[in-house]
Amino acid sequence: MTHEERQSRRLLVTGGAGFIGSNFTRYWCDRYPEDRVVVLDALTYAGNLSNLEGLADSGNFRFVRGNICDRPLLETLLAEENIDTVAHFAAESHVDRSILGPDAFIQTNVVGTFTLLEAFRNHLANRSEVDRCRFLHVSTDEVYGSLDPDDPPFCETTPYAPNSPYSASKAGSDHLARAYYHTYQVPTVITNCSNNYGPYHFPEKLIPLMCLNILLGKPLPVYGDGQNVRDWLYVIDHCCALDAVIHRGTLGETYNIGGNNEVKNIDLVRTLCRLMDEMAADLPVKPSETLITFVKDRPGHDRRYAIDSTKLQTSLGWEPSVTVEEGLRKTVQWYLNNEAWWKPLLSEEYQSYYAQMYG
């Protein structure tokens, strides 16, 4: 189907003011300006309206502040906007915070996903045309647990073995999405992605944390021995994959999305130091690699993640287009250009959290 031949969609994007959700919303509004896009976000600490700046100028965009646990709000939105596609990003997503306070992760990731699925199931029962309807559940590779150095990458049939309250809550939400397809025929599709990076990433996560600490001349905390391996996926590549899954994915299926970029944490941090030394003017400490500080490892820290995206590549024709070097260079440049975006995020609450995590 060509771009001109496709029918327009009416999307509800949950968590659309967060990191991946806002990048997806921007991607979708740019690629499909004929579609109606409604963002629902509770604007917790990691949700940021400035991530969506400029989109309100479009007559096809609407922002609603609200929580996915609010069933009456969900049912009202689905009905009045005649939603046919849900892109579900809303989640508590930081492992460290899940260790400090797991309650919010169970509430948002499990109860919230259940509430959203129930509301969408009820909504579909009142629609005459449901063939094109979709419920995209966006999840993580962390549900699969940890890999040894020589293990093959995670595939869609890898048994679930979550090791943190965060990954356990996401595993629970995955199982709910799968069950709603098999029990109630809710048209769900599940994706499990590797570590994303790129613009609009809240500074608690590894890459923005390192970029901002280098700019501020602060220590660069690296857990344990720094040998933990992650597969890095540039967020726009992820958005392209989700586009393919929404339009061509098979209902009830799971698709793994990876960047084919396995990197040890310590090597990633050293690459960021090199790029910042090259690209940033007047750094307070240079070379910035001297700021690297090894800190006590996090409890239950998974050693290695890696994703096998063969199913997605062969069935839907997607593949990552951005190498980790290219993506990191773009990301560093974005943070250098957008101090007005990240500086207000370094709030008193963030500083308190930072001190609790890294001393």
Tens-place pLDDT, residues 159-177: 999 999 999 999 999 999 9
Tens-place pLDDT, residues 80-133: 999 999 999 999 988 888 889 999 999 999 999 999 999 999 999 988 888 999
Nearest residue to 235 (alpha-carbon basis) of 194, 193, 192, 198 = 198
Burial 118-144 (b: 16+ CB within 10 A, else e): bbbeebbeeeeeeeebbbbbbbbbbbb
Please check whether residue 22 is in contact with residue 200, taking contact to mean a CB–CB distance below 8 angstroms: yes
Please check whether residue 262 is in contact with residue 231, taking contact to mean a CB–CB distance below 8 angstroms: yes
Global pTM exceeds 0.85 = yes
**Residue of 166, 223, 234, 255 marked catalytic:** 166
Burial class (CB in 10 A: 0-12, 13-18, 19+), 80: exposed
Residue 269 has pLDDT above 90, yes or no: yes
Q: What is the pLDDT of residue 26?
A: 98
Q: Using the 8-state DSSP alphabet, how is residue 109 labeled? A: I
Residue 4 has pLDDT above 80, yes or no: no
**Active-site annotation holds for 142:** yes
Residue 44 has pLDDT above 60, yes or no: yes
Instruction: State the average pLDDT for the chain.
Output: 95
266 occurs within a structural domain: no
197 occurs within a structural domain: yes
Tens-place pLDDT, residues 63-77: 999 999 999 999 999
Lowest mean pLDDT among 91-100, 142-151, 248-257, 284-293: 91-100
Give me the domain span that covers residue 154: 10-202+232-260+304-321
287 occurs within a structural domain: no
> With left for phi above 0 and alpha for psi between -120 and 50, is residue 300 left, alpha or beta?
left
Lowest mean pLDDT among 3-12, 21-30, 33-42, 260-269: 3-12
147 occurs within a structural domain: yes
Q: What is the pLDDT of residue 198?
A: 98
Residue 256: strand pairing partners: 192
Kindly state the percentage of the chain with pLDDT values over 90.
Answer: 87
Tokens encoding 227? 């040998």
Q: What is the pLDDT of residue 358?
A: 83
Domain count along the chain: 1
pLDDT bucket at 60, cuts 50 / 70 / 90: very high
**Residue of 35, 84, 142, 231 marked catalytic:** 142
Q: How far apart are CA 346 and CA 246, in angstroms?
A: 35
pLDDT bucket at 3, cuts 50 / 70 / 90: low
Please check whether residue 132 is in contact with residue 9, taking contact to mean a CB–CB distance below 8 angstroms: yes
Q: How far apart are CA 262 and CA 225, in angstroms?
A: 17
43 occurs within a structural domain: yes
State the angle between helix axes of 113-125 and 165-184 in degrees (0 to 180), rounded to the nearest 10: 20
pLDDT bucket at 57, cuts 50 / 70 / 90: confident
**Active-site annotation holds for 166:** yes
176 occurs within a structural domain: yes
Please check whether residue 139 is in contact with residue 170, taking contact to mean a CB–CB distance below 8 angstroms: yes
275 occurs within a structural domain: no
Looking only at the bridges linking them, the beta strands covering 36-41 and 10-14 are parallel
Q: What is the pLDDT of residue 6?
A: 85
What average pLDDT score do residues 180-188 get?
98
Q: Cα dist. 140→48, 52, 297, 351, 355 in Å?
A: 21, 23, 21, 27, 27
Q: How far apart are CA 87 and CA 16, in angstroms?
A: 9
Residue 300 has pLDDT above 90, yes or no: no
**Residue of 35, 84, 92, 141 marked catalytic:** 141
Please check whether residue 57 is in contact with residue 30, taking contact to mean a CB–CB distance below 8 angstroms: no
CATH code of 256's domain: 3.40.50.720
211 occurs within a structural domain: no
